[in-house]
């Protein structure tokens, strides 16, 4: 920099009489260009950041939306009492039901004027074992016999993948799961309106399926698991966090013990989450003998993780209550404890709740510690029986479920994982919006 100024100084000296103040010399131009460049870098960085955000969301939505729809074979079907009795009397009962189904299927095809060739095995590959599905239905609902019933039979995950573009026709090699001719049949049925797109309720309400059935996998059970964990986190971290903050902000004397607590809190806020997982494994599972994969253990670990967040935000909102409130309470004869609990705490409550909700949202998306307490190897096949066993029965949680799906070899599960992320982000968004509304509505500027 110094030589640059020296050079310009010399050249300016040489042509001083001719230079107008309004004209830019070379050096000024260079400086202005550098200024423009610098500003452009900054703008570029902001744009790149926003671009990444857009890419992330586009890829989540584009990949995840198909998980919410599925292709179903929709068929009106009537089974009479005689047919039912006849089928039940046969040796191969499901075979009999399948024959009825094929009959009905043919009728539906001819009604719509579609002419396709297919065999029973192709139907199996498209929609699975129809015979047993129908038998189960009529055994469970005998009163539907003789009435017209609309069946929505979900297509197999490969056919589903074909319709939403996951599976390309060129990539299909004939196997016992799918043959190229099946896709022609599926296309014909789609045109005829027999195969339709339908909202996939199974994905929202269902439980996880085994590795071989991506179509039946749902996120419902793990939403419940996450819910139980959040209950534990809320019940423990809110009172403990508020109590700790009240002590540190209102009562703590300035001594080594208070300093120790402060240092510990700020360090815990930055400890990697996986270390909390190790803590949970060693202390809660190995030492205390709590059950693996239980929402209770997950909740305890996440509580320890969220406490620093809640303490930091609670202290900020306690600090924001002006001292005059405390002085006024003390002045009319309240004890220190009464002034805090009757006056300061209620005024700080909106801020505390906002901080708690944000802490909960963080905890909800946290995955790494859950891997270590065994929430991943576990397939959440069922809902908990009642409210109490929900805490101790092994379950999955939303992020752990997403990880489980992402780690499975079958690519059909990836779509479920993306769909799971949409559900997770919807929850997080709702929580953050509630926090923002709380802050807007109740926050007081003193």
Partner 1 sequence: MPVHWIVLIVLALAVIGYVMGRQKALASAGGNIRDLHSLPSYYGSSVAIFTMVFSFLVLIVWLIAQPIVIENQVAGSIPPEAVREGSTLGLMMSDVRRVADGLDQAVSQGAMTSEDAASIRSEFTDVRDRLGAIGVALGSDVGPAVLRAAQHYRALNATGNLFMTIVVLGVALAGFGFALMRSHKDFRARNVVETTIRYILIGAASIAILTTIGIVLSLIFNTAEFFRLYAWTDFFFGTTWAPSFSGRGGSSELGFVPLLWGTLYISLIALAVSVPIGLFAAIYLSEYASPRMRSFAKPLIEVLAGIPTIVYGLFALLTVGPLLLSVFGDGGLGWMKAGTAVMTAGLVMGIMLIPFVSSLSDDIINAVPQAMRDGSLGLGATHSETVRQVVLPAALPGIVGAILLAASRAIGETMIVVLGAGAAAKLSLNPFEAMTTVTAKIVSQLTGDSDFASPEALVAFALGMTLFIITLGLNILALYIVRKYREQYE
Give residues 159-178 in contact with partner 1 (rule: CB under 8 A). Answer: none
Chain center to CA of 60? 11
Smallest separation (angstroms) from partner 1 to the CB of 432: 7
Nearer to partner 1, 96 or 363 (CB): 363
Question: Using CB under 8 A, which of 25, 27, 63, 107 touches partner 1?
Answer: 63
Taking Cα atoms as reference points, which of 206, 131, 213 lies closest to residue 177? Answer: 213
Taking Cα atoms as reference points, which of 341, 370, 180 lies closest to residue 280? Answer: 370
By CB under 8 A, how many residues form the interface with partner 1?
87
Q: Does 35 bind partner 1 (CB under 8 A)?
A: yes
Question: Using CB under 8 A, which of 261, 316, 330, 349 touches partner 1?
Answer: 261
In what order do the strands lie in the sheet containing 69-78? 148-154, 69-78, 195-199
Smallest separation (angstroms) from partner 1 to the CB of 183: 24
Smallest separation (angstroms) from partner 1 to the CB of 100: 41
The first and second tokens of residue 117, run together, are: 């060739």
Q: Do the Cβ atoms of 222 and 417 come closer than 8 Å?
A: no
Smallest separation (angstroms) from partner 1 to the CB of 47: 9
- From the list 124-132, 192-200, 215-223, 374-382, the region that binds partner 1 by CB under 8 A is 374-382
Nearer to partner 1, 134 or 300 (CB): 300
Q: Does 276 bind partner 1 (CB under 8 A)?
A: yes
Smallest separation (angstroms) from partner 1 to the CB of 70: 20
Buried b (16+ CB within 10 A) or exposed e, 265-287: beebeeeebeebbebbbeebbee
Smallest separation (angstroms) from partner 1 to the CB of 117: 38
Q: Does 286 bind partner 1 (CB under 8 A)?
A: yes
Question: Using CB under 8 A, which of 372, 380, 423, 438 touches partner 1?
Answer: 372
Residue 199: in which H helix or E strand, if any? strand 195-199
| Residue 344: burial class (beta carbons within 10 Å; 0-12, 13-18, 19+) | buried
Contacts within 8 Å (CB) and 24+ apart, 161-166 = 161/412, 161/415, 162/186, 163/71, 163/190, 163/195, 163/197, 164/66, 164/69, 164/415, 166/66, 166/411, 166/412, 166/415
Smallest separation (angstroms) from partner 1 to the CB of 332: 15
- From the list 15-23, 74-82, 83-91, 268-276, the region that binds partner 1 by CB under 8 A is 268-276
Nearer to partner 1, 32 or 141 (CB): 32
- CA angle, 427 then 153 then 78, to 5°: 135
What are φ and ψ of residue 145, in 5° steps? -60, 135
- From the list 39-47, 103-111, 183-191, 347-355, the region that binds partner 1 by CB under 8 A is 39-47
Question: Using CB under 8 A, which of 121, 274, 426, 433 touches partner 1?
Answer: 274
Smallest separation (angstroms) from partner 1 to the CB of 392: 12
Q: Do the Cβ atoms of 137 and 60 come closer than 8 Å?
A: no
Nearer to partner 1, 155 or 314 (CB): 314
Q: Does 392 bind partner 1 (CB under 8 A)?
A: no
Nearer to partner 1, 120 or 283 (CB): 283
Strand-pair category, 148-154 with 195-199: unpaired
Distance CA 164, CA 66 (A): 7
Q: Does 421 bind partner 1 (CB under 8 A)?
A: yes
Q: Please name every residue paired with 152 in a beta bridge, in sequence order, or none if there are none.
A: 74
Name residues contacting partner 1, limited to 304-343 (CB under 8 A). 304, 307-308, 311, 335-337
CA distances from 185 to 125, 166, 195, 423, 424 (A): 11, 18, 10, 34, 37
Name residues contacting partner 1, limited to 222-251 (CB under 8 A). 239-241, 243-244, 246-248, 251
Name residues contacting partner 1, limited to 201-220 (CB under 8 A). none
Nearer to partner 1, 54 or 180 (CB): 54
């Amino acid at each position: 920099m110094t030589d640059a100024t020296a050079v310009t100084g010399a050249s300016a000296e040489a042509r001083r009489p001719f230079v107008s103040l309004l004209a830019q010399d070379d050096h000024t131009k260079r400086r202005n260009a550098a200024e423009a460049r610098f500003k452009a870098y900054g703008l570029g960085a902001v744009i790149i950041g926003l671009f990444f955000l857009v890419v992330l969301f586009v890829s989540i939505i584009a990949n995840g939306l198909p998980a919410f729809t599925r292709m179903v074979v929709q068929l009106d079907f009537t089974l009479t009492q005689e047919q039912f009795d006849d089928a039940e009397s046969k040796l191969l009962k499901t075979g009999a039901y399948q024959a009825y189904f094929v009959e009905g299927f043919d009728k539906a095809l001819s009604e719509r004027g579609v002419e396709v060739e297919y065999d029973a095995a192709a139907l199996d590959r498209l929609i699975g074992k129809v015979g047993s599905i129908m038998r189960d239905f009529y055994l469970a609902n005998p009163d539907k016999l003789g009435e017209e019933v609309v069946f929505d039979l979900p297509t197999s995950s490969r056919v589903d993948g074909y319709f939403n573009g996951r599976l390309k026709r060129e990539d299909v090699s004939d196997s016992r799961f799918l043959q190229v001719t099946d896709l022609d049949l599926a296309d014909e049925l789609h045109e005829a309106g027999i195969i339709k797109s339908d909202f996939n309720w199974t994905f929202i309400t269902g439980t996880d399926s085994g590795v071989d059935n991506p179509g039946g996998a749902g996120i419902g059970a793990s939403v419940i698991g996450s819910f139980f964990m959040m209950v534990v986190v809320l019940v423990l971290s809110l009172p403990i966090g508020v109590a700790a903050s009240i002590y540190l902000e209102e009562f703590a004397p300035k001594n080594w013990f208070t300093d120790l607590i402060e240092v510990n809190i700020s360090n815990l806020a930055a400890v990697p989450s996986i270390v909390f997982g190790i803590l949970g494994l060693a202390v809660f599972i190995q030492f205390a003998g709590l059950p693996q994969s239980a929402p209770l253990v997950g909740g305890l670990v996440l509580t320890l993780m969220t406490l620093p967040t809640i303490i930091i935000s609670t202290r900020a909102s306690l600090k924001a209550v002006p001292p005059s409130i405390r002085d006024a309470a003390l002045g009319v004869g309240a004890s220190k404890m009464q002034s805090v609990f009757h006056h300061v705490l209620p005024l700080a409550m909106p801020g505390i709740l906002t901080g708690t909700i944000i802490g909960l949202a963080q905890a909800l998306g946290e995955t790494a510690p859950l891997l270590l307490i065994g929430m991943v190897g576990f397939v959440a096949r069922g809902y908990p029986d009642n409210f109490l066993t929900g805490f101790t029965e092994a379950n999955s949680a939303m992020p752990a479920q997403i990880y489980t799906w992402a780690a499975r070899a079958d690519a059909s599960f990836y779509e479920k994982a993306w769909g799971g992320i949409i559900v997770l982000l919807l929850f997080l968004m709702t929580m953050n919006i509630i926090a923002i509304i709380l802050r807007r509505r109740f926050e007081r500027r003193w």
